[in-house]
Amino acid sequence: MTVNTVGANHLDFGNINVTTSSQNFSISNQNGQKFEATGSPNYVIYADWPQTITLNNYAWVISHGGTNGTLTFSPNDIIQHTGDNSNWSNPYNVSRNTYNYGNLYFRDTDNDGIGKVYFWLGGALTVPGNQSSGDYVGTLTFTVSY
């Protein structure tokens, strides 16, 4: 079984102009990161992802100077999957830490012996007022298992 990202990094919030006030940003599942999971056809699967991810600007500060800072990215609690369709069409909801019986399994519509499921994940980011400058990065671990 494998899980890969598809396309560019769609969880990039871009350049944010920091103000003295807190700002909230979000990316919908449809516009978020797409993952392709492949495995044995017709097996019911389980998907999991973290509730929060800490982002930091440490590498940027080493290169450019400034103050270290952290932010918290919150992936959505409910994401969507589109079966073996790599396009956004008729998505099903997927809850964290839950077997989604009836609609979450590897599909093999190509009859090539490889099952596929596409997941779509977005989330939210709150940037406090006067947040330290820099490129903030973190690691999202998305797990799919039988």
pLDDT of residue 103: 60
The answer as to whether 7 is a domain residue is yes
State the total domains in the chain: 1
The answer as to whether 49 is a domain residue is yes
CA distance 137 to 58: 9
pLDDT of residue 104: 73
pLDDT of residue 96: 78
Structure token digits, residue 22:
């807190």
Q: What are the distances in angstroms from CA 80 to CA 15, 27, 34, 52, 98? A: 27, 13, 10, 18, 13
CA distance 32 to 29: 5
pLDDT of residue 115: 85
**Low-confidence stretches of the chain (pLDDT beneath 50):** none
CA distance 94 to 78: 6
Comparing C-alpha atoms, which of 42, 30, 39, 40 is closest to residue 104? 42
The answer as to whether 43 is a domain residue is yes
3-state secondary structure of 59: helix
pTM for this prediction: 0.87
The answer as to whether 17 is a domain residue is no
Range of the domain at 40: 2-12+22-145
Domain containing residue 137: CATH number: 2.60.40
pLDDT of residue 102: 53
The answer as to whether 62 is a domain residue is yes
Structure token digits, residue 45:
């699967």
pLDDT of residue 100: 58
